[in-house]
Amino acid sequence: MVKNLNNLRADFPVLDQTVNDEALVYLDNAATAQRPNQVIAALTHFYQTDNANVHRGVHSLAERATADYEQARRKVQTFINAAEPETVIFTKGTTDGLNLVASTYGEQNVAAGDEIVISIMEHHSNLIPWQQLAHRKNATLKYINLTADGQLDLDDAQAKITDRTKIVAVAHASNVMGTINPIKELARIAHNHGAIFVGDGAQAVPHMAVDVQDLDVDFYAFSGHKMMGPTGIGVLYGKRALLEAMPPYQFGGEMIGFVHQFDSTWAELPYKFEAGTQNIAGAVGLGAAVDYLTAVGMPTVQAHEHEIVNYLLPKLTEMPGVTVYGPQDPANHTGVIAFNLDGLHPHDVATALDMEGVAVRAGHHCAQPLMTYLGLTATARASFYLYNSVADADQLLVALTETKEFFNHGTVETK
């Protein structure tokens, strides 16, 4: 459990409000996390004191802005244990980073008859770029299936990844079922067949310690807003040799070495992939979020979420009329839990819970192939973070019980 939880919650002003006359219980963290005062203050300070464009100016504000921006890069490098800051590329988010890899490395290295392997649980951000690359290149897209309890089937992965495979791309953690995938083992399998491994870290980096060198991933993408940073900022990590061999993703200012009338040269890493004016304030805010998470400690964050899941998952699974999807073992589970109430559409469930002040997500969660695989159209999803508590889990259970009673026994008063 995170120590001094009440003091920590006080860092998040948005949590101190009522919704529909009930105290807010925010359980939509897989979609976006809330920001602590420290991140908000870092953004305000940058705009009030250091706001200028980076790298190109020699005046004091430009030099301070550049220092802030590059310091944020170094903070991210340390946070994910990248070998050097040049392998940390700022993007708009996970989606942007994955599209960058598909549109550069993929275009260069995938040909007709090659294979791209992903899992059936992928978010659309780590599915559609590879699907469309396969279409363009006349390559084969293959899906790793799941075990009966919602784990990635490693035996199926071994069978699907072959010597024709060029790219394996799998989420580190599922945004629907909370499954933590064995991406270090998947990267080893991919490398044994001469393929590269791409990790979608959107649901992992905010919730557990990530060491990209230990995982031996070739590329790894994640988003700032899911780890308490601003929206519109993210990171793509890549191994230096691969990044250096890739062409630029976009063209324009900042990413050039020298521009002639009929030809151009490109800047060194990481700037080759950072065309135009970047989200400088977003990077500064992301750096502040990294500072906050580092101070708490990622093992502490993960242990705290495990405590909540250990408490909630059995109670939710045993509740009559509730179906929970994904692993039942909390040890291999992030704070994401997908469920349905019998006979109720997930949107109705989410609306009813909102009336009790409990914010959850409902829909296909940008994972429609997974929904089809599970025989569903949608689920409700509760997702916890470091500022949530067992009391929040209890409030979810109470709200679900009241929702069931209302829909099963509710009557309309007539005169």
CA 367/CA 31 separation, integer angstroms: 13
CA 266/CA 413 separation, integer angstroms: 72
Q: Is 388 exposed, middle or buried (0-12, 13-18, 19+ CB in 10 A)?
A: buried
Q: Which residues pair with 364 in a beta bridge?
A: none
CA 361/CA 265 separation, integer angstroms: 46
Other beta carbons within 10 Å of 263: 7
CA 357/CA 402 separation, integer angstroms: 12
CA 19/CA 17 separation, integer angstroms: 7
CA 187/CA 383 separation, integer angstroms: 27
CA dihedral 94, 100, 103, 108 (to 10 degrees): -120
Residue among 266, 235, 236 nearest 251 (CA): 266
Q: Is 13 a catalytic residue?
A: no
CA 412/CA 397 separation, integer angstroms: 25
The rounded radius of gyration (Å) of the Cα atoms in the chain is 22
Contact 267, 256 (CB under 8 A): yes
The catalytic residue among 366, 376, 390, 397 is 366
Distance from CA of residue 198 to its chain's centroid?
Answer: 14
Residues marked as catalytic: 366
